[in-house]
């Protein structure tokens, strides 16, 4: 009996020691696993590009096709060699490239190398249609200040005939910020107010990626806008969450499915706003 107890105690002791040993092994094993996982997760240096349509290119691969060479315009804002010029400051260019929204001759006036909005003449739009693009536009609100808030120098640049980048005389003119010059109307306030004085020429450089819709009309990729106003970044890769159409004082439209391409439109909002030097470069999706 006494021998049996001694053997049992010895086995128990061995078990405890063994258990401790096992626990100890487990405890020491865990950090090793973590270290291994961390080593695996450590970013590896980039060895090759996998996203080219023609196959794989090594980093610094001199066989990789180089980007096409283009000639930039002589002055800032001048059209580069690969641009589609939509208005070059001539009446011929206006007639060739712009119509009203029904495809009839535009009722805006050609004046001093610019296209000027006429009250009640309606929007004008490009004959040619575009999707994602880089768009350069120059505009001037009236030098004679009339009206206030949204009634002063109001026009707009519409991408695909859908989404409005607001044009407004926002020089010392208080209005709701998501409707001031450079706003994505009702959707995004510009980062700064880079407006020039009334009557002075200003520029927009817009990088637009169109939205994509599925066959049921649901938006599967929302539009994005990057905008420079007079060379100043005012919209920084902003995702457009919906449409920009006015519904009421505190509501704008949602997305509504449309085609892959649409016209560039300029708004008639009753104020004689002028446009010049309009050119565009199409972008791939």
Closest CB to Mg ion among residues 178, 260:
178
Closest CB to Mg ion among residues 201, 246:
246
Interface with Mg ion includes 156 (CB under 5 A)?
yes
Closest CB to Mg ion among residues 73, 270:
270
**Which residue sits closest to Mg ion, CB atoms considered?**
156
* Listed ranges 45-53, 85-93, 148-156, 209-217: which one lies at the site for Mg ion (CB under 5 A): 148-156
Q: Provide, rounded to whole angstroms, the least separation between the CB of residue 197 and Mg ion.
A: 19
Q: Provide, rounded to whole angstroms, the least separation between the CB of residue 156 and Mg ion.
A: 3
* Listed ranges 70-78, 106-114, 154-162, 238-246: which one lies at the site for Mg ion (CB under 5 A): 154-162
- The span from the CA of 241 to the CA of 211, in Å, is 10
Binding-residue pattern over the window 245 to 274 for Mg ion, x denoting contact by CB under 5 A: ----------------------x-------
Interface with Mg ion includes 190 (CB under 5 A)?
no
- The span from the CA of 89 to the CA of 274, in Å, is 11
CA-based angle 12:18:20, to the nearest 5?
Answer: 105
Closest CB to Mg ion among residues 179, 211:
179
Closest CB to Mg ion among residues 156, 211:
156
Closest CB to Mg ion among residues 83, 188:
188
* Listed ranges 90-98, 146-154, 247-255, 277-285: which one lies at the site for Mg ion (CB under 5 A): 146-154
Interface with Mg ion includes 198 (CB under 5 A)?
no
Interface with Mg ion includes 179 (CB under 5 A)?
no
Q: Provide, rounded to whole angstroms, the least separation between the CB of residue 165 and Mg ion.
A: 9
Closest CB to Mg ion among residues 132, 265:
265
DSSP the chain: -HHHHHHHHHHHHHHHHHHHHHHHHHHHHHHHHHHHHHHHHSPPPP-EEEEETTEEEETT-TTSPPPPP-PPPSSTTPPPTT-EEEE-SSHHHHHHHEEETTSSBP-SEEETTEEE--TTS--EEEEEEESSEEEEEEEE--SS--S-GGGSS-EEEEETTTEEEEE---SS----GGGSTT-BTTTB--SS-----TTS-EEEEEEEE--EE-TTS-EEE--EEEEEETTEEEEEEEEP-S---EEETTEE-------S-EEEEE---SS--EEEEEEEEE---
Q: Provide, rounded to whole angstroms, the least separation between the CB of residue 260 and Mg ion.
A: 25
Q: How many residues bind Mg ion (CB under 5 A)?
A: 3
What is the binding site for Mg ion (CB under 5 A)?
154, 156, 267
């Amino acid at each position: 009996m006494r021998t049996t107890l001694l053997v049992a105690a010895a086995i128990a002791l061995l078990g405890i020691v063994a258990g401790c040993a096992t626990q100890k092994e487990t405890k020491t094993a865990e950090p090793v696993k973590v270290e291994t996982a961390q080593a695996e997760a450590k970013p590896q240096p980039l060895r090759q590009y996998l996203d080219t349509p023609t196959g794989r290119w090594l980093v610094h691969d001199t066989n990789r096709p180089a980007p096409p060479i283009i000639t930039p315009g002589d002055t800032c804002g001048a059209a580069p060699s690969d641009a589609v010029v939509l208005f070059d400051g001539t009446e011929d260019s206006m007639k060739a490239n712009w119509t009203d929204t029904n495809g009839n001759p535009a009722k805006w006036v050609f004046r001093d190398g610019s296209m000027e909005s006429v009250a009640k003449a309606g929007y004008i739009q490009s004959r040619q249609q575009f999707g994602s693009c880089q768009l350069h536009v120059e505009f001037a609100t009236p030098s004679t200040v009339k009206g206030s808030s949204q009634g002063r120098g109001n026009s707009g640049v519409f991408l695909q005939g859908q989404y409005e980048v607001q044009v407004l005389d926002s020089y010392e003119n208080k209005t709701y910020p998501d409707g001031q010059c450079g706003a994505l109307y009702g959707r995004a306030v510009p980062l700064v107010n880079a407006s020039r004085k009334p009557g002075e020429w200003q520029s927009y450089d817009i990088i637009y990626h169109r939205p994509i819709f599925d066959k049921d009309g649901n938006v599967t990729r929302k539009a994005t806008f990057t905008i420079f106003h007079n060379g100043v970044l005012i919209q920084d890769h902003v995702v457009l969450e919906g449409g920009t159409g006015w519904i009421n004082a505190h509501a704008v439209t949602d997305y509504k499915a449309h085609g892959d391409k649409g016209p560039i439109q300029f708004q008639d909002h009753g104020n004689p706003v002028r446009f010049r030097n309009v050119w565009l470069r199409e972008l791939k999706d």
